[in-house]
């Protein structure tokens, strides 16, 4: 099943990752959010009072990497740091309304770009592809 230098399946996987992921290291998801920043913001949004290290763990970064990401998100006004009342060492990272807002915008943008791709497929396939995407992601998580 090889037509070029690598398998069609590998190539497809990588192209998908490239298309929907960061195009290049400094690829932007949206105006001023890099891919890891966006991922971090999603994590923060879904984990109430999320400690800094949690973010690093979720994304596969070290704790100092996590600090840096939170720094940038805070500087841009998408999150705030709040000292935990239970443990004074812990910084609870909380999403701001502005953060929620950009999450929505970006979500819409992703939907849009997937829709544009799906429009190029035979119409009856669309629901199956959507289902497959969520199924694949679920399998990855477990």
Partner DNA sequence: GAAAAAAGGTTGACGGCGTCAACCTTTTGC
Partner DNA sequence: GCAAAAGGTTGACGCCGTCAACCTTTTTTC
- Residue 127 within binding range of a second copy, rule CB under 8 A: no
3-state secondary structure of 13: helix
Which of residues 47, 65, 105, 118 is near DNA by CB under 7 A? Answer: 65
Contact 39, 27 (CB under 8 A): no
Choose one: 67-75, 99-107, 111-119, 125-133; the region binding DNA (CB under 7 A).
67-75
The DSSP string of 77-118 is TSEEEEE-SS-TT-EEEEE-HHHHHHHHHHHHHHHHHHHHHH
Q: Footprint of a second copy on residues 15-74 (CB under 8 A)? A: 15-26, 35-36, 38-39, 42, 45-46, 59-61, 65
How far apart are CB 34 and DNA at their closest, in Å? 4
In which residue are the tokens 């940038």 written? 72
Choose one: 49-57, 105-113, 116-124, 131-139; the region binding DNA (CB under 7 A).
49-57
Phi–psi pair at 28, nearest 5 degrees: -100, 140
Question: Using CB under 7 A as the criterion, which residues of the chain lie in contact with DNA when the complex forms?
Answer: 24-26, 34, 36-37, 51-54, 56, 60-72, 81, 87-91
């Amino acid at each position: 099943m090889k037509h070029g230098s690598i398998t069609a399946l590998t190539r497809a996987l990588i192209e998908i990752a490239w298309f929907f992921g960061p195009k290049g290291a400094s690829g932007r998801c949206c105006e001023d959010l890099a891919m890891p920043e966006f991922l971090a913001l999603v994590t923060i949004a879904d984990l109430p009072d999320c400690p800094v290290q949690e973010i690093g763990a979720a994304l596969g970064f070290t704790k100092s990497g996590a600090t840096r990401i939170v720094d940038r998100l805070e500087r841009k006004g998408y999150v705030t740091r709040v000292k935990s009342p239970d443990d004074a060492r812990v910084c609870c990272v909380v999403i701001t309304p502005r953060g929620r807002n950009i999450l929505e915008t970006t979500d819409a943008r992703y939907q849009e770009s997937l829709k544009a791709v799906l429009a190029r497929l035979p119409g009856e396939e669309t629901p199956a592809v959507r289902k497959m995407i969520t199924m694949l992601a679920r399998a990855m998580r477990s």
